[in-house]
Amino acid sequence: MSEHHPAPPRTTSPVGNDHRQRPAVLGAAGDGWVEFDLPGVGIGTAEYPDGPTGVTVLSIPGGARTAVDRRGGAVGVSGGFPYHHALCFAGGSSFGLAAASGVYDELLRRAGYATDFGSLPVVSGAVVYDFTPRDNAVYPDAQLGADGLRAVRTDGVAVGRVGAGVGATVGKVDNARAEWGGQGAAFTRIGAARLLVLTVVNAMGVIVDRDGGIVRGNLDPATGRRRHPAEDYAELLAAATPDPAPAGGNTTLTAVVTNVRMTDTELAQFATQVHSSMHRAIQPFHTIADGDTLFALTTDEVTVPSPSLRLGTVAAELAWDAVLASVETPRRAPVATAGVAAG
């Protein structure tokens, strides 16, 4: 499939969830695969190919303390709690928040419908707007959220156009120059410390590699050249041209999961450090037209010295790997940081 996608004319479509014809796809293959080994953590995907649109469910049955870092002008999150048993990333914009209720439904069923206070699960939902490249109103609903949880695996996750990232796009200075985004992931183990980054990239900005090259987004279909958005905006500034409204419907959702114990303050700073670092891979990032949100979660299993600083620095590089994996088959080995003490 071509990386570029021309934006279709936006119309009101009678095709919604009530008119879907094809069944949900659980655990789609995507464009690549990232293995991980983080005990107690699993990831599952489910999609409605009639959209296409989908969900990605991060499952932590034993629970994980959480810090949430919200950036940009259009955040779409339900919950955002300081503790989680699952996260549900979904397409469908605000309609896709319904998918998280399906994760709750499935967790209730698995608990034998126990409703005592100690049995209540904690789930947050977060969404991306993926209606731009399609002309229907299909969205991830509660059934698809439950399907995503049922598809959870603990050995790896599909990346590329899959799950919540199946309809993601990037480089939307002009929708006609947008290209497909997707879901990315990266994992590393350093001593006793383990780190997993999961991201769904549906950004206004372009994706930039470590050499400074633009690898996806803002593609001129006439020349085949990808432009940095700074070039476009510099020209508009120089010409004093009225700035058209930025393309709306942009969000990058990220989860950084570790087994390293941190205080609440350290975990919050860890989330901020990693989220801030992602501007190197996505440019521009955290704009008024984006709803970027990062969840930092820890299972509190191991102790390392100075966890926020050391782990945050490593996780920042891993997050860059994950962003790149969203649009290209992972080729780079997981970040190696021999100089970082793992305790």
**Mean pLDDT (10-residue bins), the chain, 343 residues:** 54 69 88 95 96 97 97 87 97 96 97 92 96 92 97 96 96 88 97 96 95 91 87 82 73 97 96 97 92 96 87 96 90 40 28
| pLDDT given for residue 162 in this prediction | 97
End-to-end CA distance of the chain: 46
| pLDDT given for residue 244 in this prediction | 63
- Which residues lie below 8 Å from residue 287, measured CB to CB, with a gap of 6+? 72, 73, 204, 205, 246, 250
The reported pTM is: 0.91
Residues 335, 314 contacting (CB under 8 angstroms) = yes
Q: Is 34 exposed, middle or buried (0-12, 13-18, 19+ CB in 10 A)?
A: buried
| pLDDT given for residue 338 in this prediction | 33
Q: Which of 170, 169, 176, 167 is nearest to 244 (CA)?
A: 176
Catalytic residue positions? 251
